[in-house]
Amino acid sequence: MDNARIDIDRMVRRGEALSGRWPLAGFERLGTLLASSDGDVRWQASARRRARAEGGEDTYLGLALAASLPVPCVRCLGPVDIVVDDRREFLLVADEETAERLDDPESELEVIAADTPFRLAELVEDELILAIPPLPRHAACELPVDHGPEADGGPDGEPASHPFEALRKLRGGTDETGS
């Protein structure tokens, strides 16, 4: 993947903006969450520096992502497309300790530690993983139909009137509620 690692300082000095397309199949961690690795992610990155009032400069990375992620539906297990169209800005700091100290959960700005060269592909993969909802599902879908022996009723083929009918038969035909 071209530009998987980038030189942030060079981008700032030259005023460069980078962009590209990476195949979803190139992301190992993301691939474990997808129903299919077909497709790609389009990305665009830019960097800038801004002076602080107390002196020094802060480095910011702007990242735009666009992708359609085919993930399995939690109801029918068929693929459901999660559309990602996101723009974020990150404050880049020297180490994890500084990132933790400066990170504000209330802020839209995320603070991250930036290695040199910066691992852009890892950040893109992290953002795509975070874009997947915890329980992805279609707006309307049917539950899968079970074709096992219990689909026609109880183990002997008779319709089951109660979900625990087989257990009731094993216990002698009665339960504690008297039904």
Share of the chain above pLDDT 70, in %: 84
Q: Is the pLDDT of residue 161 over 80?
A: no
What mean pLDDT do residues 6-16 have? 92
Q: What pLDDT score does 147 carry?
A: 46
pLDDT at 108 over 90: no
Quick check: 144 pLDDT over 80? no
Reported as a single tens digit per residue, the pLDDT across 27-65 is 999 999 999 999 999 999 999 999 989 988 999 999 999
List 21's β-bridge partners, or say none: 42
One-letter amino acid at 152 equals: D
Secondary structure of residue 100 in the 3-state scheme: helix
Instruction: Give the integer Cα–Cα distance in Å for 136 and 125.
Output: 18
Candidates 4, 78, 17, 70; CA nearest to 47 is 17
Percent of the chain with pLDDT over 90: 59
Q: Tell me, rounded to whole angstroms, the distance of Cα 9 from its chain centroid.
A: 29
Query: Which of residues 29 and 154 earns the better pLDDT score?
Result: 29
pLDDT band of residue 153 (cuts 50, 70, 90) is low
Q: Is the pLDDT of residue 126 over 60?
A: yes
What integer best gives the mean pLDDT of the chain?
Answer: 86
Q: Which among 139, 127, 147 has a CA at the least distance from the CA of 78?
A: 139
Measured CA distances, 117 to 16, 167, 172 (Å): 15, 62, 71
DSSP 123-151: HHHHHHHHHS-SS---SS-PPPPP-SGGG
Any residues with CB less than 8 A from the CB of 121 and at least 6 apart, and which? 1, 4, 5, 22, 26, 27
